[in-house]
Structure 1
Amino acid sequence: MNRAIAAGSLALVSAATCLTLAPAASAAPQACVTSTLTTGGNEGVGTIRNKSASSSCGDLNLTYSDDSTSPYGDYYAGRLRNSSGVWHTCTKGYVWASDGSHSVNDSTYWLCTDVSDNTPFTVASQLDGGDSVKITH
């Protein structure tokens, strides 16, 4: 009987040790984050946001656009600020987007790809600034 109690105690201690040594669960990345911005003019700087560090998205996706001066749309480009503080337009350049919602899964509207966490970004409108856009990142 003493052996059974000792074996049972050893099993409980071993189980507790395993529970204690298990790594803490890290926070899972959240789904994509959406930010609303006002665009800058051609090659300009509008509202500045930072690429989410807690999102599972690696891109800047144009998911909504509303040209403030036209009922049709505009050309939009993602712009990133480098560590020297200089803004550059992403490789994709300007893409046409009609006013309205755009699918996050449509690569046409992926303004910038492989953006590092916490990178400052903005959106420029080629025809005029002051448009309202939503970027999912």
Structure 2
Amino acid sequence: MKRAIAAGAFALVSAATCLVLAPTASAAPNACVTSTLTTGGYEGVGTIVRKSSTSSCGDLNLTYSDDSTSPYGDYYAGRLRNSSGVWHTCSKGYVWASDGSHSVNDSTYWLCTDVNDNTPFTVASQLDGGDTVRITH
């Protein structure tokens, strides 16, 4: 009987120790987030989204585009708003994208790189605005 009580007490202490040592919820970033936007015209502002603060992606990746006025595509550029409220086009400039899906792993479509969390961004179309794009960020 004493052996059973001692074993039971040891099991409770061991279980309590495991509970204390168990990892808490992880603060690790989630997978990339995808947002659908309507583009602005050349150097313009379309739908405004903030760079995800819970994503593991540091870039603005064009993963889908649909030019509203052409069956072929358009040139797209990522634009960021700075703390003064001024918009600027990312250093990559405008890149050609045919209508359809684009690989998140294809650096051709990384419109902006190393974007800080919560930075407001938009996408501009060189030939005309009003296109639908998906940005994975």
- Aligning the two structures, in what range does the TM-score lie when normalised by the shorter sequence? 0.7 to 0.9
The amino acid that maps onto 1:81 is R
Matches within 5 A, 1:1-137: 2=2, 5-6=5-6, 8-26=8-26, 28-137=28-137
Give the Cα separation in 2 of the matches to 1:107 and 1:7: 60
TM-score, normalised on structure 1? Answer: 0.87
The amino acid that maps onto 1:66 is D
CA-CA distance at 1:12 after TM superposition = 2.6
Determine helix, strand or coil for the equivalent of 2:92: coil
**1:100-135 residue CA offsets vs partner (Å, 9 max, x unmatched):** 111111110000111122111100011111111111
TM-score, normalised on structure 2? Answer: 0.87
Give the Cα separation in 2 of the matches to 1:46 and 1:20: 50
Give the Cα separation in 2 of the matches to 1:4 and 1:93: 74
Higher mean displacement: 12-21 or 57-66: 12-21
Q: Percent identity?
A: 89
Higher mean displacement: 29-38 or 12-21: 12-21
The amino acid that maps onto 2:20 is T
CA-CA distance at 1:22 after TM superposition = 3.2
Show structure 1 runs of 5+ residues with no match: none
The amino acid that maps onto 2:133 is V
CA-CA distance at 1:25 after TM superposition = 2.2
Give the Cα separation in 2 of the matches to 1:100 and 1:10: 62
Give the Cα separation in 2 of the matches to 1:67 and 1:105: 22
CA-CA distance at 1:7 after TM superposition = 6.1
Give the Cα separation in 2 of the matches to 1:135 and 1:9: 56
The amino acid that maps onto 2:87 is W
